[in-house]
């Protein structure tokens, strides 16, 4: 019973860490690109570069978030396959009965 509770807690903390990391990734990507756009607009005397950089920063943030999610998802799939091959799932369900 205790083992199951610690596994549930671990998954909860991993989910919270993932959500935090995704948020930070998006904020940093958009913020850095926008800051660069503002700086370039001031340097060059234009007013449209900030908008373009904001869009590029958003695209970069989405791409980074997607890569992170895929990396985590692929790792979980690999662990599930390894568990299935080793028969751990069958043993754990037998213990719970």
**What's residue 3's pLDDT?**
65
**What's residue 1's pLDDT?**
55
Higher per-residue confidence, 88 vs 27: 27
Q: Helix or strand or coil: residue 72?
A: helix
DSSP collapsed to 3 states, 1-69: CHHHHHHHHHHHHHHHHHHHHHHHHHHHHHHHHHHHHHHHHHHHCCCCHHHHHHHHHHHHHHHHHHHHH
Average pLDDT, the chain: 84
Summarised one tens digit per residue, pLDDT across range 11-58 is 888 888 888 999 999 999 999 999 999 999 999 999 999 999 999 999
Whether 31 and 53 have beta carbons less than 8 Å apart is answered as no
**What's residue 2's pLDDT?**
63
Higher per-residue confidence, 91 vs 54: 54
Report pTM: 0.68
């Amino acid at each position: 019973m205790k083992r199951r509770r610690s596994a549930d807690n671990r998954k909860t903390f991993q989910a919270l860490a993932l959500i935090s990391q995704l948020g930070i990734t998006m904020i940093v990507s958009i913020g850095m690109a926008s800051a660069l756009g503002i700086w370039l607009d001031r340097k060059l005397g234009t007013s449209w570069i900030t908008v373009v950089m904001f869009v590029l920063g958003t695209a970069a943030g989405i791409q980074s978030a997607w890569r992170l999610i895929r990396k985590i998802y692929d790792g979980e799939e690999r662990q599930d396959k390894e568990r299935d091959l080793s028969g751990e799932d069958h043993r754990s369900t037998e213990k719970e009965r």
